[in-house]
Amino acid sequence: MQKPIATTRSATGIPTGKLAIWWVLASEIVIFGGLLVSYIMNRLGHGEWGDYAAHTNTMAGAVNTFVLLTSSLSAVLAHKAADQKDGVKAARLLRLTALGAAVFLVIKSFEWTHEIRAGYTITKNGFWAFYYTAAGLHGLHVLAGAVIMLIIAADAAKNRELQRVELIGLYWHFVDVVWIFLFPLLYIAK
């Protein structure tokens, strides 16, 4: 399909794709915002949730924070490579970022398996319900981001649609930022 002239115009001076991705993030912010505010209000009303939170695995969460933040570095380097029209390098770095996402999800699976086996399931109480729902929604974003990243990498390797490398990077930083809120709220505050 040929792109319409509308897509190539830029009355604001911001490329259309980048403008759109910022609006995607804006709508994501209110989704996670609603969820986190609901959690925080509940948490403030239930002092005992701190005791439940004591059973979360802070070490696993910290390692995952490190993995996710590090994966953003390769996303930034991919953007730089795309700016220099080096699609092959950008693709390699994007795949590295997706690997980071995979490591994050694997650690999370082990963590959840361990917790569920210990009896801390989603129906255990309000805290665990929010724990699985919030982290699960974030995990879906990680998974979706990784899949899209691999698709973009396949294009970038052929030096096509290189502007998309920056866009997926923006999304990836957002996924990071959400985790930076989730980690202290679910793991550290006990």
Footprint of another protein on this chain (CB under 8 A)?
1, 4-7, 9-12, 14, 16, 19-20, 23-24, 26-35, 37-38, 41-42, 45-46, 122-123, 125-126, 129-130, 133, 137
Contact 168, 35 (CB under 8 A): no
Given the complex with another protein, which of 7 and 113 has the nearer CB atom?
Answer: 7
Give DSSP secondary structure letters for 88-149: HHHHHHHHHHHHHHHHHHHHHHHHHHHHHHTT--TTS-HHHHHHHHHHHHHHHHHHHHHHHH
Cα separation, 74 vs 180, in Å, equals: 18
Place of tokens 């399909």: 1
Tokens of 188: 């550290």
Rg (CA), the chain: 19
Place of tokens 């805290």: 127
Given the complex with another protein, which of 19 and 73 has the nearer CB atom?
Answer: 19
Find the shortest distance in angstroms from Cβ 139 to another protein.
Answer: 13
Given the complex with another protein, which of 50 and 59 has the nearer CB atom?
Answer: 50
Which residue type, as a one-letter code, is found at position 71?
S
Residues in the chain: 190
